[in-house]
Amino acid sequence: MKNYIQKGENLTLAAPYGVTSGGGVKTGLIFGVAAGDALSGADVDLVTEGVFDLPKVSTDVFAVGAAVYWDDTAKLMTSTTSGNTKIGVAVLAAANPSGTVKVRLNGTF
């Protein structure tokens, strides 16, 4: 195909804020995990598919298969739907209190 560009699992975009490797990044409707550190406005490679251990609101509880949302203000995974973006599902239960949740990114919008 002449118009094929790439698979889209990894995207290089301008970081909307400073981010460290492994941190969540939301730009528009795109969510990904930073493959490296980047200052605000600098290009960063985002991984948009796969399973990642990501920081969460410590009091939130996730069952296997539960929806996981991105709180762009706190820069944490959350179970709160209102005002947040659904980015995937939990692949392992996460209790209260705990600092992370294992998330399978949905890779779609």
pLDDT at residue 109, as a whole number: 66
Q: Please list the pLDDT of the chain residue by residue as tens digits (109 residues).
A: 899 999 999 999 999 999 999 999 999 999 999 999 999 999 999 999 999 999 999 999 999 999 999 999 999 999 999 999 999 999 999 999 999 999 999 987 6
Mean pLDDT value across the chain: 96
Sign of CA dihedral 59, 63, 11, 108: negative
- Which helix (H) or strand (E) segment is 62 a member of? none
Say how far apart CA 100 and CA 103 lie, in whole Å.
9
pLDDT at residue 107, as a whole number: 81
Q: Measure CA 31 to chain center.
A: 5
Say how far apart CA 11 and CA 31 lie, in whole Å.
10
Phi, psi dihedrals of residue 9, rounded to the nearest 5°:
-70, -30
Q: What is the pTM of this model?
A: 0.94
Sign of CA dihedral 58, 59, 60, 61: positive
Q: Which residues contact 57 (CB under 8 A, 6 or more apart)?
A: 71, 74, 76, 77, 78, 79, 80
